[in-house]
Chain A
Amino acid sequence: MLKFIPLRAQAGITGFESPAAEHTQLGLDLDQLLIDHPSATWLGYAEGASMVGDGIHSGDLLIISRAETVQNDDIIVANLNGCFVCKRVDTTARLLLSSAPGARPYQLQDGDEFQVEGVVIRSIRLHRPLSRGL
């Protein structure tokens, strides 16, 4: 698990050491910070550019929680006809919305296989590739 020091970045131009320095602790980890319900949370990679308007780019890591209740306008992952898709959801009009410029909404039909597979609670941009491989 990744450890980091919960300190604000400092320019360090004063001659004094931060009075908080001796109180910093190791031990806050990203799992605890980002994930509220570990047993209901799963990870996936975004593939494609349809959600760039929401800041989700191809190759981003998505953290998806099944514990959340879907609310109107949430970004979700759904099983749409046998495929995991990432969309913004309009629960009243039963629309799946993409956020790329010019993308058209998808109207859910009665014959569609559709199940919500969780709410995207975080998305992570991998500015450098993960060293443990992708």
Chain B
Amino acid sequence: MYVLCDVNAMYASCEKVFEPAIRTRPVVVLTNNDGCICAACGIAKRLGVGQKFVPYFQMKAQLERAGVVVRSSNYELYADLSQRMMATCERFAPHSHVYSIDECFLFYGRGAYTPPEGWQAHARRIRRTVWKEVRLPIGVGVGPTPTLAKVANHAAKRLAGFAGVAVLDDRAVQRQVLAQMAASDVWGIGRRLAARLRELGIETGLQLADAPPGLIRKHFSVLVEGTVAELNGQVRLNWDEVRAPKKEIYSTRSFGQRVQDRQQLLQALASHADMAGRKLRKQASLTHAMVIFASSSPHDDQPYYRQSVFHRFSVPTADTRLLMQACTAALARIFQPGVRFYRCGVGLLDLRDTHSQQSDLFSPSQDNTALMQCMDQINSRFGHGAVQLARQGGEQRFAMRREFLSPQYSTRLSDLPRIRCEP
């Protein structure tokens, strides 16, 4: 079985963790440079002020009237709480996969394993534990394939009667939920695909699941065919194909054998940076921030170790050389002698389109676009790794507009929360 854990309105929920005064208030979070709304908590959504990607200046007066708390994106805080949430979820299953900053899959192995307490109680316990230990509200979806776990997660959050947890372990429940979902809400079915499916009379998730394989094969790619198979309970995706949404790119993998060597860890991080950089350029994006992390296994005998480092780029970049520099700089804080590293990776956060990027007069981009293009072309022609970069050192500074930035409560000494000791 697969379990998908995903944080409700991640950024807005993170803002509430260390600020009890705003827990019961509507909160929205703005994108970089305070441009648009990118997240809204449930209270703000119910007030009707949570539409994503609406420019802030258009909403400003309305937000003020409604008494909404407005925040700039505090990626340092979100990255830290994300790591905590992932570490908490990982404890529950033998395998896990970080899918994005606010989602992770847990995998319990093929076959008919059921936790002693049953799936429903197990899922509820994951949800309760993350709330108790990290103070983030999550939805938990359980299904026999990654795509059905996603469907379950959708049900857990959106459909009445589930209250944050949905278990789709039986065909009748799966069909009942799929019937209540639009095909476009199925993982991997974008707006364009949904429009083409509609022409074939396929509107709901259930109609998609019941579509004749021949028809799908004829009109769509093997990916869509795989999605249909997954909706019918046949596993088609493996972790490498579980692709991240466009907002963030994660590259992470567990090692075949535990790693205790500094150089080896750096090499692994560098190859993740390379992989992430390639994906970044392929979708024509630039990244503003990066999180670099490594951990031991929670199932080993030695004490669990996990460390992550947040890196912000002064100018958004898609240059693997700069991503690798960040890894090299982070290594000193991540590597610990004696720790048997089990997993490492990098995440690129806060992405934007290459084309919509304005250049900055005072901090010119250091990207060598031509070199990267050349590298990508050689590698796509002669295979990955045909040309590689040697690693380099160095660090950068950042400056951006974050007028409503909350403190870095959990990552900066001067920003630690104050706790009142008054009679």
Contacts and interface: CB of A to CB of B under 8 A. Distances in A.
A38 B304 contact: yes
Interface centre among B22, B338, B423 (most CB of A within 10 A): B423
Contact of A84 (B304, B338, B414, B419): B419
Nearest to B422: A48
Contacts, number: 101
A47 B134 contact: no
Contacts of B409: 42
Given A45-B416, A79-B23, A51 B134 contact: no
Contact of A85 (B132, B133, B416, B419): B419
A117 interface: yes
B419 A50 contact: no
B218 interface: no
A100 to B, nearest CB: 6
Nearest to B21: A82
Contact of B134 (A32, A44, A66): A66
30 contacts: A27-B338, A39-B88, A39-B133, A40-B88, A40-B132, A42-B410, A43-B416, A44-B416, A44-B418, A45-B418, A47-B421, A48-B420, A49-B421, A66-B132, A66-B135, A77-B419, A79-B20, A79-B23, A82-B21, A83-B21, A83-B420, A84-B20, A84-B418, A85-B419, A85-B420, A86-B419, A86-B420, A98-B422, A104-B423, A130-B413
A27 B337 contact: yes
B417 A58 contact: no
A119 B419 CA distance: 13
The 7 closest A-B pairs by CB, nearest first: A48-B421, A40-B133, A79-B20, A103-B423, A39-B87, A82-B21, A39-B84
Contacts of B84: 39-40
Interface residues of B, number: 32
B306 interface: yes
A85 B18 CA distance: 12
A37 B416 contact: no
A62 B83 contact: no
B303 interface: yes
Contacts of B87: 38-39
A103 B422 CA distance: 9
B114 interface: no
B132 to A, nearest CB: 6
A50 B414 contact: no
A46 B421 contact: yes
A134 to B, nearest CB: 6
A112 to B, nearest CB: 12
Nearest to B421: A48
A133 B414 CA distance: 6
B304 A51 contact: no
A62 B133 CA distance: 17
Contacts of A104: 423
Interface in B375-423: 409-410, 413-414, 416-423
Interface string A46-70: 1111110000101001100011000
Given A38-B306, A42-B410, A133-B414, A50 B421 contact: yes
Interface string B125-154: 000000011110000000000000000000
